[in-house]
Amino acid sequence: MIPEKYLEQTAASIASMDKEELKAQIRNFKGRFKLDFTDSYLDNISVDRLRHILLAALINTETDD
């Protein structure tokens, strides 16, 4: 189980990122799995969708440990 404080801090951090920061974090994601999205796809989805992708990846990486 992920500690609630970690989840809140991570969500707050992601919520403060703009679209370019989110895309950079997704492109450079270092986890137990690879995120493989094209630049075109990332450019054309909403900021909320980018936030969702990054948060889900971070949560899943944290639960894999």
Kindly report the pTM of this predicted structure.
0.86
Structure tokens at 18: 């703009």
Average pLDDT over residues 9-38: 96
The per-residue pLDDT of the chain, averaged, comes to: 92
At 1, is the pLDDT very low, low, confident or very high (cuts 50, 70, 90)? Answer: low
Q: Are 50 and 23 in contact (CB under 8 A)?
A: yes
Average pLDDT over residues 40-55: 98
Give the residue extent of every domain in the chain.
4-64
Number of residues that this document lists for the chain: 65
| Residue 19, pLDDT score | 98
Q: What percent of the chain has pLDDT over 90?
A: 75
Q: Are 58 and 6 in contact (CB under 8 A)?
A: no
The CA distance from 58 to 11, in Å, is 10
Q: Are 26 and 53 in contact (CB under 8 A)?
A: yes
